Chains A and B, each alone.
Chain A
Amino acid sequence: MNTALLLAQTGGEVTTGEAVAFWILGPLALAGGLGMLFSRNAVHSALWLVLTMLGLGVMYMVQQAPFLGFVQIIVYTGAIMMLFLFVLMMVGRDASDSVVEVLRGQRFAAAVFGLGFGVLMVTALARALTDVPARGLVEANTTNGGNVGNIGRAVFTDYVFPFELTSALLITAALGAMVLAFVDRRHTERKTQREMVEMRLRGEHDRPSPLPGPGVFATANSVATPALLPDGSVAPESVSELIEATSRKTLESDVAEVAGTVPGPDAHALTGKEGDR
């Protein structure tokens, strides 16, 4: 870095390059934020957020804070967002979105107040900050070991206590993750197959045999089809409880069909007539 360049930067003027970069990156970052809010798919939301973070990272670099910019990109975009995506993929990227309003008019009110707050903040800040002279980071970037050196100095002198205090936060977070997610199974004794059989026959389980399988392929290819007992009645336990719990209504026709309470499939059923499900 030579002196002429330094002198050109000390004035605190916003250079053309900086302005161009801002007007390209600013809208992109904003679009990322809005996209994150409004996309229905959680993975898309995360990717929109990546756009915002990258935009911010580059803006930091443009504003003479290269270290902060790289940290933003490496730590936030690189590490944290990838963790986000991992979690989303593990939990399942379900795009369901509740459209039921629990509180009447709550969305409308939230939108009005949110927009109002946004407009208020933007106008107030714009008015307050237009005439503020830019100070620039040239001094911080050139003395006492430069950008990184000065950040390190601040962390270990002025902000040493807050910096150390964050360790309490990290320990709490690790402890919390353990408490909420870790089940200690080491001390639970595994039963052998013989013991299990004996327990079943002693009647310690609900039934001695395994649950009956569903009636898949008997008349339909849905796992929601229940099996029939020898007397022709429906065996309710043959359908997974999960299916039972989630979509009882959609299964009613299947159950009725197998139970024989509605006219069964005729010989044409396999040909796939027009209008069949």
Chain B
Amino acid sequence: MLLAQVEQVQVPDLDFPAIAPILIVLGAACVSVLFEAFLPRSARWAAQFGLSVLTLVGAGAALLAYLGDAPATGVTTLAGALAVDKPALFLWATLLILGLGSVFLMADRRVEPGGAFAADAAIRPGTIQDRAQATTVMQTEVFPLALFSLGGMMVFTASNDLLTMFIALEVLSLPLYLMCGLARRRRLISQEAAVKYFLLGAFASAFFLYGLALLYGYAGSIKLSAIAAAAGGSDRSDTLLFAGIGLLVVGLLFKAAVGPFHTWSPDVYQGAPTPVTAFMGACTKVAAFGGILRVFSVAFEATSWEWRGVLWGVAIVSMLIGAILGLTQTDIKRMVAYSSVAHAGFLLIGSIALTDEGRAATLFYLLTYGFTTLSVFAVISLVRDANGEATQISSWAGLAKRSPVVAGIFTVLLLALAGIPFTSGFVGKFVVFSAALADGMAPLVVIALLASAVAAFFYLRIIVLMYMREPEEDGPTVSLPGVPTTITIALGVAVTILLGVFPSAVLDWSVVGAFVS
């Protein structure tokens, strides 16, 4: 019998210290599910919040401990499924600290009495039971979901083959779809956002998977390095390669909400509970661009001449859509969503530079943008009227007279988004554009500068509105934030100003060199 010749299975090696942060986050997510199952309702919030904070701090500590003796070039582990290198470690650190900020926002129960999430999301909106739960304590399933999502993001930025990347993409997306639908106020629009995000996200995943299949057909392997090797020297038909790249990139750009693949983002940003929007705006962006950077630099660098022109176009479209449609918005969350589309365009410029400077600049930009976005949404969640958050831009008129501190903080954050000097946004744009210039993308940089000038207009419009108008009679008030939200806002503003004035230390960290594969 030929079937009888069976050898012993070799278990793949596991570099435990290198992937400890991932294991901690995913393991704690499972523990958190058990908390949800076995703890009484009254004890859950404290336990879940404590566990989440402890997890993220612990994962950060494991990361720091590993940094000391990490090999300079990085390692691949688990049969080459994960590549833990300097860029991945930088992205993990960014994700962990932004995730911590988001968890703080999710845990706040003071801004919205009881928390920003529904007490029982299964109750149908608008029923008697729904009105009865308006002030009861929130559901705490959002904590394990956030941890799973964060774990998926960390795997996504470190995955060294496309299959791991696809599963990580799903692990990061599925909890986000769920969390979008859990808002306490305006539940119908929140559920609509969740359904929209889920359907379009499933569609984008299908594109990614189809691209993966074609690339497998081309290279005979799903490993990024094998695809690079096949693209570098083979006489195989390029049709599979380019069709595969195209479809794969559509899936990636969808997650990053770039350019023409952004249509989900305004609706979802608007409908989702604001802490979840902050989490999406900051962490998903980091994860998606981390994945994009890795795929482009490792797998497709040899063919960059062929696809670069297309991505120039995508970056331009993204910047223009973000800047121009952002001008016409009347809802502040939608406006920030369009601003994030414009920022995704800037980030894409850095990502297609494919040089060490381009990589470093993109990573730095992601870090600064994440902090600023996190605090922007935290501040948005504070400005409220009787119906919850007052997201109509017109109702923000004269906010500076009611609450000078919040208006001042929001002004700093908006200036950072616009890229005014002495804010982190300026330094981020500066390094991305100079990396792009060095790589011969001068026309793109000119367009990007024009787009940021247009985008600056709608940030300034809000500043003018806040300072130069009289407040309305029944306008919104600023609620006093709880401790967690205060910490997030303070952290975000501090990083925004510090990295604007003394960026050099973080700029040095962000010079991470090449990916390992």
Contact = CB atoms under 8 A, between A and B. Distances in A.
B264 to A, nearest CB: 15
B72 interface: no
A142 B78 CA distance: 27
Contacts of A182: 122
Interface of B, secondary structure class, is helix
Nearest to B220: A135
Contacts of A178: 141
Contact of A179 (B139, B161, B237, B243): B139
A142 B4 CA distance: 9
B171 A144 contact: no
A165 B164 contact: yes
Nearest to A173: B174
Contacts of A187: 41
Interface in A163-177: 165-166, 168-169, 171-173, 175-176
B240 A179 contact: no
Contacts of B11: 156-157, 160
B123 interface: yes
Interface in B209-231: 214, 217
B175 interface: yes
Contacts of B178: 172, 175-176, 179-180
A200 B430 CA distance: 70
Interface in B37-60: 41
A175 B12 contact: no
A127 B26 contact: no
A124 B239 contact: yes
Contacts of A157: 9-12, 79
B24 to A, nearest CB: 13
B249 interface: no
Interface residues of A, number: 39
Interface residues on B, range: 35 or more
Nearest to B162: A162
Contact of B26 (A128, A158, A168): A168
B196 to A, nearest CB: 13
From DSSP, what is the main secondary structure of chain A's interface residues?
Answer: helix
B81 A145 contact: no
Contacts of B167: 162, 165-166, 169
A160 B9 contact: no
A131 B181 CA distance: 49
A124 B218 CA distance: 13
Contacts of B2: 1, 142-143
Contacts of A127: 237, 239
Interface stretch (B148-156, B319-327, B355-363): B148-156
A125 B240 contact: yes
Nearest to B165: A162
Nearest to A183: B122
A180 B122 contact: yes
A161 B164 contact: yes
Interface string A145-164: 11001000100111111100
Contact of B81 (A142, A143, A144, A159): A159
Contacts of A158: 12, 79-81
9 contacts: A124-B239, A144-B6, A146-B3, A153-B9, A161-B78, A165-B168, A168-B148, A171-B148, A176-B175
Interface of A: 1, 121, 124-125, 127-129, 131, 142-146, 149, 153, 156-162, 165-166, 168-169, 171-173, 175-176, 178-184, 187
